[in-house]
Amino acid sequence: MQLIRSPAPLFLVTGGSGQLGRELRRVLSRQGDVIAPSRSELDLASPVSIREVIRRVKPSVIVNAGAYTAVDRAESERDVCFAVNAVAPAVLADEARDINAALVHFSTDYVFDGTKLDPYVETDQPLPLNAYGQSKLEGERAIAASEAAWVVLRTSWIYSAYGKNFLTTVLRLARERAELCIVDDQIGSPTPATAIAAATASLINRARQRTEDIGEAIRADRGVYHYASSGWTSWCGFARAILDAFPDADRRALAVRAIETQEYATPARRPANSRLDSSRILETFGLSTLPWNDELAREAAAIRAPVGTRVHSRVSSSL
């Protein structure tokens, strides 16, 4: 089959300053031009703002990495949570359809209740336990009901060297406390933002090789896909692995004590099993995943690398 290289696309990345958005900006800039508006320029809680930016920029691909992710606060801030996670994806899909752009949207393992004993597949019935999961599920369904060319990537336990996530929180708490008490009866697959961004770029590049019309290529394979590291651990196991991966980090913590969920009360309920089966994305797009502990080792090595040896990219951060 002859490969087709389409003209360089224009990417519009929402949530560009977040942990996933930062990595998407870096990798997508190798394929084309990237515009990553700030929140003041594109407010996902405002449909008017979304429509105005998209109609002005006219991107080839919209990559929606923006989301309301404060899981516990979402229980008391449902309006803004649903505006960003449910209404905004519907608006993005409508606008993508109107300009024949492809839409890549990210969702979460929290659309499931976690009672299944095996990893979840895409056809399993969603049943969110909290407002955040409900809002993300509504966003998925709004996109699926649209006529846009779309792909939804569900992932889990995202972490990176940037922002507020489990990795950075554990390293911070290890500097402040002599002992960390971490939940051990919730399991999942820690997945670095770098891996998710690389998979997204590969998926889009594959579409570009098939036809000059990225939207047409994405439309042929549109659907929901799971993408998470292989293997699994608990939050406690992940915390211990983080401290092992950063032996030279400044810290007081000498021990990580396993506790049960009931000992750590939170406003929002979490699924006990967050494992995702990523077989479908391998079969459709040829995207494989690495074991979560191997990914953590790679991330730790990259984070510890001298600043001058890290790869940086030039992207447009404004309109």
Residues designated catalytic: 132
Amino acid code (one letter) for 196? I
Name which of 15, 19, 13 is nearest 299 in CA terms: 19
H or E stretch at 303: helix 292-304
Beta strands in the chain (DSSP E): 10-14, 33-35, 61-64, 102-108, 149-155, 158-159, 179-183, 187-188, 191-192, 223-226, 233-234, 255-259
3-state secondary structure of 266: coil
Check if the beta carbon of residue 246 is closer than 8 Å to that of residue 300: yes
Measure Cα distances from 136 to 121, 139, 166, 194 in Å: 17, 5, 20, 22
Amino acid code (one letter) for 316? S
- The distance of Cα 68 from the centroid of its chain, to the nearest Å, equals 12
User: Both ends of the chain: CA-CA distance in Å?
Assistant: 38
DSSP 28-82: HTTTSEEE---TTTS-TT-HHHHHHHHHHH--SEEEE------TTGGGT-HHHHH
Q: Give the span between the Cα atoms of 6 and 18, in whole angstroms.
A: 29
Q: What are phi and psi of 33, to 5 degrees?
A: -85, 140
Q: Give the span between the Cα atoms of 179 and 173, in whole angstroms.
A: 9
